[in-house]
A = this chain, B = another copy of it.
Amino acid sequence: MAAPDVPVLVQRAREGDARSVARLISLVEDASPLLREAMAALLPYGARASVIGVTGAPGVGKSTSTSALVSALRAQDKRIGVLAVDPSSPFSGGALLGDRVRMQDHALDPKVYIRSMASRGHLGGLSWSTPQALRVLEAAGCDVVLVETVGVGQSEVEVAGLADTTVVLLAPGMGDAIQAAKAGILEVGDVYVVNKADRDGADATVRELRHMLGLGERRAAHDWRPPIIKTVASRGEGLDELVEALEKHRGWLEETGELRRRRRRRAAEEIEAIAVTSLRRQMGDPRRGPALEELAERVVSAQLDPYAAADQLVEGLTATGTVPPG
C-alpha cells in the first residue's frame, strides 16, 4: 500500500468517508511516523464530540449496552463513533474482539463509525492513542464517541480518565460491586448502570452500590451526584433514562467548567505520554550517553545503585527539536 497522503485522508474523513477514518485510526494504532502531520491537520476539528467511556467487568454486558446506547442516540439522529480499545494483550499484536458481533446491528449505518484499536504494547499507549483516535472521529463529525474497553484491569481506570463522562456498568450478582471496587472502577463513574436488571438481585446490587458510593461522601452542593440507572440493554429497557442521565451530566460538565478541565487533563496526558515515549527512546540510544544496557549491567554487578544509574541516564539526555510519534 502506498504511503497515505495525509491532507487527502483528513479531507475525506471530514467528508465522512469511513475508509479514510479507518486509515487515519490505523496510523494511530501503528504509531506511524505520519501521525505528527495527521494530528496537526486534524487539530482544528477536535474537541467537538461528547466522549463517553463505557467500562465494567467482563459479563456485565458492555458490548450489548454500547450497542443499545448507539441505537438510542441514533434515534436522535446523532452521528456516533464507537472506539473499542483493547489494552489487555500487549504481546499479541492484534485485538481479540470476540464480542464485536453485537455491534453488527450498526455496521451498515453510514452515521456510525465502529473501530477497534489495540494498544500493542506501547507503554502508556492508551494515553496518547485514545485522544488521537478521538480527534479523527471528531473530525469526521461524530457528535458522540463511545469508548469501550475490552479486557479488564487498570487500563479501564486509565480509559475512564480520558472520557468526558464515564459510565460504569455492573450486573446483579454476589460481590460484583466488591469486584468493581477492587478494580478501582467504582471511583471513576459519573453514571452507574446496573444492567440485566430483570435478574434476581438487581435491587440488592443497586443498594450495595449506593452504599459503597456513599462511603466517605463529602460533596458540596454543586458537586455531581452519580445516578444509578437500571437497564436491560438486550431489550433496550432503561436506555432513555441512561441517555437522559448522560445529557444531564454533559450539562453539568459545561456549566461548572469541568468539561474544559477534563479535556485539559486529557491533552496533558497525551502530551506527557508523547514526551515520555520520546525520552524513553533516547534513553535506549547509545549515542546519548551511557547506554541503558551498560548501566543495567553495572547495577546487576553491584557497581552502581539504581538511582545513580538513573542520574547518569537522565544526564545523557539532550532535548532534540523533534519528538517522533509512537
Contacts and interface: CB of A to CB of B under 8 A. Distances in A.
Given A39-B305, A43-B305, A283-B272, A183 B151 contact: yes
A264 B317 contact: no
Interface in A80-111: 87-92, 96
Contact of A280 (B44, B92, B272, B293): B272
Tally of this chain's copies: 2
Given A152-B153, A153-B153, A307-B325, 20 more contacts: A43-B302, A43-B305, A47-B300, A88-B183, A131-B306, A151-B153, A153-B154, A153-B155, A154-B154, A264-B300, A268-B295, A270-B306, A271-B295, A271-B310, A272-B283, A274-B306, A276-B276, A279-B279, A311-B321, A315-B321
A39 B308 CA distance: 10
Q: How big is chain A's contact interface, by range? A: 35 or more
A155 B154 contact: yes
B297 A310 contact: no
Nearest to A279: B279
Nearest to A324: B307
A58 to B, nearest CB: 9
Interface in A172-188: 181-184, 187-188
Contacts of A320: 314
Contact of A96 (B44, B87, B92, B182): B182
Contacts of A73: none
A183 B321 CA distance: 38
A225 interface: no
